[in-house]
Amino acid sequence: MGNILIPALVILGFGALSAYAAGKDMKEGELKALLEGGKTLQLGGKGMGYTGTLDLAADGTGKGSAQPDSGDKIVINGTWRIKGDEFCRTWEALDDGKEVCERWRLVAPNKVEVYSGKEMMGVNSW
């Protein structure tokens, strides 16, 4: 019986990996479970054109910065909330201070691609 269990676990493991590889939009409950207590996110990374850190506080505020590979550091300061299946943010110095809502597509256990409409805007990890 032990010999049957090992291949079954291997198959289940590959199934989980393929789900991440395909990407899955996070739902409201998943976003809330991840972020409502506060979370520090790593922004961008190697090959993305920028890196940074964003601290999301449980009270709905966010602070951080991003550094493009070429260009000036971008300061991030403002508020965030979960609205349905989207992460909505209002950063003071970005997007003319308007609220932007994003879909987060889970591509690894601790990594999402960030989309606004059909456009991928970046990557967050934790």
Checking if the pLDDT of 19 tops 60, the result is no
pTM: 0.81
How far apart are alpha carbons 35 and 15 in whole angstroms?
26
Checking if the pLDDT of 78 tops 50, the result is yes
Checking if the pLDDT of 26 tops 70, the result is yes
Residue among 106, 100, 105 at smallest CA distance from 88:
100
Checking if the pLDDT of 4 tops 60, the result is no
Q: Which residues contact 116 (CB under 8 A, 6 or more apart)?
A: 100, 101, 102, 103
**Contact (CB, 8 A) for 43 and 64:** yes
Q: Give me the mean pLDDT over the 32-36 stretch.
A: 97
Checking if the pLDDT of 21 tops 70, the result is no
**Domains of the chain by range and CATH?**
25-125 (2.40.128)
User: Would you state the pLDDT for residue 23?
Assistant: 87
